[in-house]
Each structure stands twice: as structure tokens, then as C-alpha cells.
């Protein structure tokens, strides 16, 4: 009888972002199709006149489109500005994060540097469109697709929180059987344990026992 030690060592390829085992027809891809769809859904929230990015503007000043009471302000007094939506809207925020990824993708593909045109809203619309057009390539081949997903999911969640006034998701500490504490949120796509390198999918990681505070 043969010993099938090589089979024991073999591990089926998994999706970078969520850790799920890839389907037959997904083999060779960096990310599974579900994760590609998730990334596309996140990107689609942002552009357009009724998108999250445009909606941030309504949250800049308390009392306007916000949850606070409507205050009447004299014409000469400057309105207090909320900093969180501003930091997402300004250069260095959402638009810059997405543009940095598009520059990176162009470099990976050997294309020339993308050009930005128009105001920030127009640039946002353009960069989202360009990323979505190339998403299939990125989810198939880009080695850093998991980082891309994490970053855009996080930035979209931040925008959502500002627009809806929702509070930040609280991180949950769960315990890996190896003793390492993992900090995740309910919307996590999955996590890799720093201690034993086990890759958990979303459901698996949320099934882990809660870690004791003292162990965190």
C-alpha cells in the first residue's frame, strides 16, 4: 500500500481576500468571483450625483442633511465643518486612495500613467469606472488584490458611516485554537491568524470562540 504523504501536504488553492477554497473554474485566480463581486459592489456605491461620495458634502455642516437639529446661522458666521467627511472628500481621501490603486494597476499592466481630469467628483467617477473595467483582471492576477479589497471596503464603510450617521463597527476579539487573538468585525471577509497562519473564511472566523479580554 502506498503512503499518500504528498496528498496530505497538498492544500487546495484558496481565495486571497476571503480564504475560501477556489472552485474548479476559479483555479489560477487570486480572488474568488464572490470577492470580485463584493469589490464591484463596494466601488459602485461611490460615484454619481446620488453616490456616497457626493452625499458626503451634505454631511459637512451640522444641521444640513444631518441628524442634528437645524440651526439658523447668520450669513456672516462661518458654518462649523465636520472633519471626518471633509477628510474623506478632500484630496488625500477617497479619490486619492482609488487613484493610487489605478496607478499601481497601470504599472502592473505596463500601461502609461492614467490622467486625471476635472474636479474631484469627476475624477472620482472616472477612477471608479476605470477600476471596475479592470476588476476582472485584478481579481484574477493582481497579487495585492486582497489589500485592494480591504482598503476599498474600509473606505466605503467610512463613507457610509458618515452619510448614514452610523457608528463605527465594533471589533470583536476571537480566539484561534493556537491561542492567538484575532480582531475582526462582523463584515470581515475573512482573516489570517498571525500565530499559526491559518486562513479563515468569513463564517469560520465568526464561529471562533470569543477571546477573553485579558488575553487580548
Interface ranges with Zn ion (CB under 5 A): 15, 17-18, 32, 35, 176, 178, 180, 193, 195-196
Rounded to a whole number of angstroms, the minimum distance from the CB of residue 130 to Zn ion is 22
Nearer Cβ to Zn ion (84/204): 204
CB of 2 to Zn ion, least distance (A): 32
Tally of CB atoms within 10 A around 179: 11
Using the minimum distance from each CB to Zn ion, give the nearer residue, 17 or 85: 17
Cα 185 from chain centroid (whole Å): 12
CA 119 from chain centre, in angstroms, equals 24
Please identify, using beta-carbon distances, which residue of 155 and 176 lies nearer to Zn ion: 176
Contact 152, 160 (CB under 8 A): no
Residue 48 falls in which region: left (phi positive, over 0), alpha (psi -120 to 50) or beta:
left
**Residue 13 Cβ, how far from Zn ion at the closest point, in Å?**
11
Residue whose CB is less far from Zn ion, 17 or 47: 17
Q: How far is the CB of 31 from Zn ion (least distance, A)?
A: 5
By DSSP bridging, strand 181-184 and strand 190-192 are unpaired
Amino acid at each position: 500500500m502506498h503512503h499518500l504523504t504528498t496528498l496530505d501536504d497538498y492544500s487546495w488553492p484558496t481565495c486571497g481576500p476571503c480564504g475560501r477554497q477556489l472552485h474548479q473554474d476559479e483555479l489560477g485566480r487570486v480572488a474568488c468571483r464572490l470577492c470580485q463581486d463584493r469589490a464591484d459592489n463596494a466601488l459602485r456605491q461611490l460615484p454619481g450625483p446620488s453616490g456616497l461620495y457626493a452625499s458626503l458634502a451634505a454631511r459637512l455642516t451640522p444641521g444640513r442633511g444631518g441628524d442634528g437639529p437645524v440651526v439658523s446661522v447668520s450669513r456672516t458666521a462661518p458654518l462649523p465643518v465636520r472633519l471626518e467627511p471633509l477628510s474623506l472628500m478632500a484630496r488625500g481621501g477617497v479619490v486619492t486612495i482609488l487613484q493610487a490603486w489605478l496607478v499601481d494597476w497601470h504599472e502592473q499592466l505596463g500601461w502609461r500613467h492614467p490622467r486625471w481630469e476635472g474636479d474631484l467628483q469627476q475624477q472620482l467617477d472616472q477612477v471608479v469606472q476605470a477600476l471596475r473595467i479592470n476588476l476582472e483582471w485584478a481579481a484574477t492576477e493582481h497579487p495585492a488584490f486582497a489589500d485592494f479589497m480591504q482598503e476599498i471596503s474600509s473606505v466605503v464603510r467610512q463613507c457610509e458611516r458618515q452619510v448614514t450617521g452610523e457608528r463605527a463597527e465594533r471589533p470583536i476579539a476571537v480566539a484561534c485554537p493556537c491561542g492567538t487573538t484575532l480582531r475582526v468585525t462582523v463584515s470581515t471577509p475573512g482573516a489570517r491568524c498571525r500565530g499559526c497562519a491559518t486562513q479563515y473564511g468569513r463564517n469560520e472566523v465568526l464561529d471562533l470562540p470569543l477571546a477573553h479580554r485579558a488575553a487580548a
